């Protein structure tokens, strides 16, 4: 069984080569652990185009034309300083507009980001708990993504 996915990254990381996301797909880590028994085909990779996310509408359309079944909002949207203020809006819009499943996260949260966000209290609000859960791996894996 195979699943086709798209990834939307934060525009401040627009030069990202995708190494952590691609490693996480290969190793089925972070938010990709749900695909442990499936082949994963990446059918789209782009940025949101910067705040407030002008490319979300077009990226979703393009990914669905390439048969994306799930769109992942990259871990960078969660771990950046500050985290994306539009992440829930992006998720809600893509799901409503394209009737597609949207997952928050790609690769595991690197330990250095968990440490800093814990220190800052960034993710103390209960709404963040569900957003970070798919990428909250164990400490060994988090350190491997530093």
pLDDT tens column, 90-142: 999 999 999 999 999 999 999 999 999 999 999 999 999 999 999 999 999 99
Give the domains, in start order, of the chain with CATH numbers: 2-144 (3.40.50)
- The whole-angstrom separation of Cα 91 and Cα 84 is 12
Mean pLDDT calculated for residue range 15-37: 96
Please give the helix or strand (H or E) that residue 24 lies within, else none. helix 19-27
9: closest CA among 65, 61, 50? Answer: 50
Sign of CA dihedral 108, 103, 17, 36: positive
The structure tokens 């809600």 sit at: 92
| Predicted confidence (pLDDT) per residue in 28-83, tens digit | 999 999 999 999 999 999 999 999 999 999 999 999 999 999 999 999 999 999 99
């Amino acid at each position: 069984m195979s699943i086709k996915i798209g990834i939307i990254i934060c525009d401040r990381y627009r030069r990202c080569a995708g190494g952590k996301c691609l490693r996480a797909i290969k190793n089925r880590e972070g938010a990709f652990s749900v695909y442990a028994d499936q082949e994963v085909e990446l059918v789209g990779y782009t940025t949101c185009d910067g705040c407030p996310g002008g490319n979300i509408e077009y990226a979703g359309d393009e990914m669905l034309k390439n048969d994306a079944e799930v769109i992942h909002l990259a871990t960078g949207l969660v771990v950046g300083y500050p985290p994306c203020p539009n992440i829930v809006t992006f998720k809600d819009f893509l799901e409503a507009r394209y009737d597609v499943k949207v997952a928050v996260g790609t690769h595991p949260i690197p330990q250095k980001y968990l440490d800093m966000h814990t220190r800052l209290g960034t993710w103390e609000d209960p709404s963040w708990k569900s957003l970070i859960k798919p990428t909250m791996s164990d400490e060994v894996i988090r350190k491997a993504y530093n």
